[in-house]
Amino acid sequence: MYVAVKGGERAIENAHAWLAEERRGDRDVAELSIAQIREQLSLAVNRVMAEGSLYDPDLAALAIKQARGDLIEAIFLIRAYRTTLPRFGASEPVDTGAMACDRRISATFKDLPGGQVLGPTFDYTHRLLDFKLAAEGETPAAPSRVAEPGDVPHVTEFLNREGLIEEAVHDDTPPPDLTREPLEMPADRALRLQALTRSDEGFALGLAYSTQRGYARNHAFVGELRIGTVPVEMEIPELGFAIDIGEVTLTECETVNQFKGSKTEPPQFTRGYGLVFGQTERKAISMALVDRALRWEELGEDFVGAPAQDAEFVLYHADNIQATGFLEHIKLPHYVDFQSELELVRKLRREAGADQVQEAAE
Amino acid sequence: MTDYNFAYLDEQTKRMIRRAILKGLAIPGYQVPFASREMPMPYGWGTGGVQVSAAVLTPEDTFKVIDQGADDTTNAVSIRSFFERTAQVATTTATAEATVIQTRHRIPEAALTEGQILVYQVPIPEPLRFLEPRESETRKMHELEEYGLMHVKLYEDIARHGHIATSYAYPVKVEARYVMDPSPIPKFDNPKLGHMAAIQLFGAGREQRIYALPPYTQVVSLDFEDHPFEASKADHPCGMCGANDSYLDEVIIDDAGGRMFVCSDTDHCEARQAQGHRGKDAA
């Protein structure tokens, strides 16, 4: 006997209670604190801040805890919170040339002003499980010394001085804001970069990798990768001048890409650019490669049909919150649509002379 | 939930959405881009409809939410409780008592009246999307009223299957101008779209589009003279209330292939049963 499906409300409440219990896990194991997540899972925190488009390590850590470590779910929590925040104004553009670098490397020059600074990198670790960590031993403090004074100029500036790389034209036009305006095509570079910096890391990585394997190859060298803190300044109307309101950690990647030239123009290297919240270098490098691939039109290159060249394809599919929502919505009931498809397929089969057995059984 | 504004969204955002709605009402069937916000429920789960509802709800409204025609499907419950918490509006399951009805995939069976607003959740607002994936192209096609591709698709269906093989999200033409996606309602519901007394608003959150049908708008389902549009449903009466004219869900009731058909519109079915109508499967 069919009983009309009721009780959705109670089912949802119970599911939420069960979820909360599962999130907590075994109660004999100490509960994670927000500070522990912030300090010891900081790269996860960085990813959530970058893709959540909100720089707040404590909130990101809270989101990770609430999401049981599902980073896309955590990013979603941050995004949903972010939309409710009032907007007081915009900061001045940050100056990454004035960054206090924890890490700064160039793959194009062996040595350069400011030096090569490896910083806290996994790069040369041997990926061997460290069972000492399982024994919960304390880590000895790393050796340290005072940072060398002096500027850390951008590598691309050296090339620019010789005219070897395309000029990055100074532009004070306020960038569009894709969190306040609908994304519309064609998207200019500022808008594309904005979409890429909050894009899904895996999606950006896959696209960037595809360019390396020949789908719109653009021969990228990491001209420079730098990670560190920059001050954020904001002009306060009551004061009439800009003051420091805090600092953020950023990862910046500038790639030096294949040159172009013609009979009339001497050859020049071209640029790709990545800038992401936190220590997120895989994402920043991916972003720079995809940025470069998307610039095919302005650089007079051919559209070879590669996914990474296709701005509509990249920008409409790079956001993991949009993607995961739409993907997972197919779990929702679709009885009505499915019923109308059933009717249609039955009708077509009936006319084709099939389906006799099933109809008889009805 | 005192930390949030009435109906969750701040007033600036609501104003932006209302402007898009007004523009949509002024150009029926035209997809208005709007700066969709991230909502605390996932994209694809009704964020467009929720934003439109948030923008039109007033404290005096009575709100109803249906999904697949039913008030008690999980996502309908979730959206209803969202507005109970953030807007403290009265809610109802009775179609006639509601002033704002948010729906996914159905139009209620009972005729709506002037003063009511029907808000649709829309997954893919672009009727031409599966014929042309590029937004820049489809916008041009709408501008130029270039709908040949859609007619070719429908014709190819007939050539291949003998029928137009679209059973839901069946495209319509609005006031002889824009081809519009009515959202994934079954084509059974298409005839209700036209000349409806209520305002119909369509919200697509992820795709950042709002469109609208003002009351008494002409809406025609696309067809051919020799293959006229036909609204279809399961050829049975409702097992619970005996209705012959309502859209039916098919329910599998045992593991021997036994099934019954029951109204997808739960309010319609319960109201009929309360009036004493009984189907063959009613207890």
In the 3-class helix/strand/coil scheme, how is chain A assigned residue by residue?
A: CCCCCCCHHHHHHHHHHHHHHHHHCCCCCCCCCHHHHHHHCHHHHHHHHHHHCCCCHHHHHHHHHHCCCCHHHHHHHHHHHHCCCCCCCCCCCCCHHHCEEEEEECCCCCCCCCCCECCCCCCCCCCCCCHHHHCCCCCCCCCCCCCCCCCCCCHHHHHHHCCCECCCCCCCCCCCCCCCCCCCCCCCHHHHHHHHHCCCHHHHHHHHHHHHCCCCCCCCEEEEEEEEEEEEEEEECCCCEEEEEEEEEEEEEEEEEEEECCCCCCCEEEEEEEEEECCCHHHHHHHHHHHHHHCCCCCCCCCCCCHHHCHHHHHHHCCHHHHHHHHHHHHCCCHHHHHHHHHHHHHHHHHCCCCHHHHHHC
Q: How many percent of chain A have pLDDT more than 70?
A: 94
pLDDT value at A234 more than 80: yes
Residue numbers in B near A322 (CB within 8 A):
43, 206
Mean pLDDT score, B92-101: 96
Instruction: State whether A346 and A247 are in the same domain.
Output: no
Model pLDDT, residue A300: 86
Mutate to test the interface with A, among B11, B16, B67, B74 (most CBs of A within 10 A): B74
More confident residue, A115 or B3: A115
The vertex-B107 CA angle with B101 and B108, nearest 5°, equals 75
Edge-to-edge strands, sheet with A268-277: A100-105, A221-236, A241-260, A268-277
pLDDT value at A2 more than 50: no
pLDDT value at B166 more than 70: yes
CB A321 within 8 A of CB A52: no
Q: How far apart are CA B7 and CA B11, in angstroms?
A: 10
CA distance B133 to chain A (A): 9
Choose the closest CB to A332 out of B75, B233, B251.
B75
Residue numbers in A near B210 (CB within 8 A):
none
Judged by CB atoms within 8 Å, which residues 155-184 of A form the interface with B? Answer: 179-184
CB B210 within 8 A of CB B29: no
Mean pLDDT score, B142-169: 92
Does residue A218 lie in a domain region? yes
A342 touches B: beta carbon within 8 Å: yes
Mean pLDDT score, A89-96: 91
Instruction: State whether A30 and A107 are in the same domain.
Output: no
Judged by CB atoms within 8 Å, which residues 61-100 of A form the interface with B? Answer: 76, 79-80, 82-84, 86
Mean pLDDT score, A191-209: 97
Q: How far apart are CA A289 and CA A335, in angstroms?
A: 44
Residue numbers in A near B34 (CB within 8 A):
182
Residue numbers in A near B81 (CB within 8 A):
9
Q: How far apart are CA A246 and CA A70, in angstroms?
A: 29
Choose the closest CB to B40 out of A80, A180, A328.
A80
What's chain A's average pLDDT?
89
CB B204 within 8 A of CB B210: yes
A354 touches B: beta carbon within 8 Å: no
Confidence label for A145 from pLDDT (cuts 50, 70 and 90)? confident
Model pLDDT, residue B141: 96
Instruction: State whether A201 and A310 are in the same domain.
Output: yes
Model pLDDT, residue B248: 93
Cβ-count burial of B23 within 10 angstroms (0-12 exposed, 13-18 middle, 19+ buried)? middle
Q: How many Cβ atoms from other residues are within 10 Å of residue A89's Cβ?
A: 8
Does residue A163 lie in a domain region? yes
Instruction: State whether A72 and A112 are in the same domain.
Output: no
Instruction: State whether A186 and A297 are in the same domain.
Output: yes
Domain boundary among A82, A105, A132: A82
CB B248 within 8 A of CB A2: no
Instruction: State whether A169 and A53 are in the same domain.
Output: no
Mean pLDDT score, A149-161: 84
B58 touches A: beta carbon within 8 Å: no
pLDDT value at B238 more than 90: yes
Q: How many Cβ atoms from other residues are within 10 Å of residue B112's Cβ?
A: 21
Tell me which amino acid residue A182 is.
P
Q: Which of A76, A5, A16, A345 is nearest to B67 (CA)?
A: A5
Model pLDDT, residue B275: 95
Does residue A131 lie in a domain region? no
CA distance B197 to chain A (A): 24
Domain count, chain A: 3
Q: Which of A102, A360, A82, A77 is nearest to A230 (CA)?
A: A102
Instruction: State whether A63 and A169 are in the same domain.
Output: no
Instruction: State whether A193 and A304 are in the same domain.
Output: yes
CB A194 within 8 A of CB A176: yes
Judged by CB atoms within 8 Å, which residues 177-236 of B form the interface with A? Answer: 184-188, 206, 208-209, 232-234
Model pLDDT, residue A361: 53
Model pLDDT, residue B108: 97
What's chain B's average pLDDT?
93
Confidence label for A1 from pLDDT (cuts 50, 70 and 90)? very low
Highest mean pLDDT among A34-43, A173-182, B158-167, B229-238: A34-43
In chain B, the largest separation of any two C-alpha atoms, in whole Å, equals 59
Dihedral (C-alpha) B218, B219, B223, B226: value to the nearest 10 degrees?
A: -40
Alpha carbon of A114 to those of A100, A233, B8: distances in Å? 11, 24, 50
Q: Which domain holds residue A17?
A: 8-82
Per-residue pLDDT tens over the stretch A236-293? 888 889 999 999 999 999 999 987 766 677 888 899 999 999 999 999 999 999 999 9
Does residue A139 lie in a domain region? no
CA distance B157 to chain A (A): 11
Q: How far apart are CA A212 and CA A166, in angstroms?
A: 21
Instruction: State whether A77 and A110 are in the same domain.
Output: no
More confident residue, B24 or A263: B24
pLDDT value at A3 more than 50: no
Per-residue pLDDT tens over the stretch A164-189? 888 888 888 888 999 888 988 899 99
Model pLDDT, residue A114: 84
Does residue A88 lie in a domain region? no
Question: Length of chain A in residues, anyone?
Answer: 362
Per-residue pLDDT tens over the stretch B188-233? 999 999 999 999 999 999 999 999 999 999 999 999 999 999 888 8
Q: How many percent of chain A have pLDDT more than 90?
A: 58
Mutate to test the interface with A, among B3, B12, B38 (most CBs of A within 10 A): B38
Mean pLDDT score, A205-224: 92
Instruction: State whether A264 and A201 are in the same domain.
Output: yes
Residues with Cβ within 8 Å of residue A201, at least 6 apart in sequence:
A47, A50, A51, A280, A282, A283, A286
Structure tokens at A158: 């050296």
Residue A186 preceded by cis peptide, ω within 30: yes
Q: How far apart are CA A218 and CA A292, in angstroms?
A: 7
Does residue A118 lie in a domain region? yes
Mean pLDDT score, A135-146: 84
Instruction: State whether A294 and A352 are in the same domain.
Output: no
Model pLDDT, residue A43: 97
CA distance A353 to chain B (A): 13
Model pLDDT, residue A359: 53
Mean pLDDT score, A4-30: 86
Size of interface A-B (CB pairs under 8 A): 158
pLDDT value at B89 more than 50: yes
If DSSP states are collapsed to H, E and C, what string results for B219-241? EEECCECCECCCCCCCCCCCCCC
Does residue A153 lie in a domain region? yes
Q: How far apart are CA A251 and CA A249, in angstroms?
A: 7
More confident residue, A126 or A356: A126
Write down the pTM of the prediction. 0.88
Instruction: State whether A217 and A346 are in the same domain.
Output: no
Confidence label for A200 from pLDDT (cuts 50, 70 and 90)? very high
Question: B249–A4: do the CB atoms touch at under 8 Å?
Answer: no
Model pLDDT, residue B1: 44
Q: How far apart are CA A196 and CA A204, in angstroms?
A: 7
Question: B232–A329: do the CB atoms touch at under 8 Å?
Answer: no
Does residue A127 lie in a domain region? no
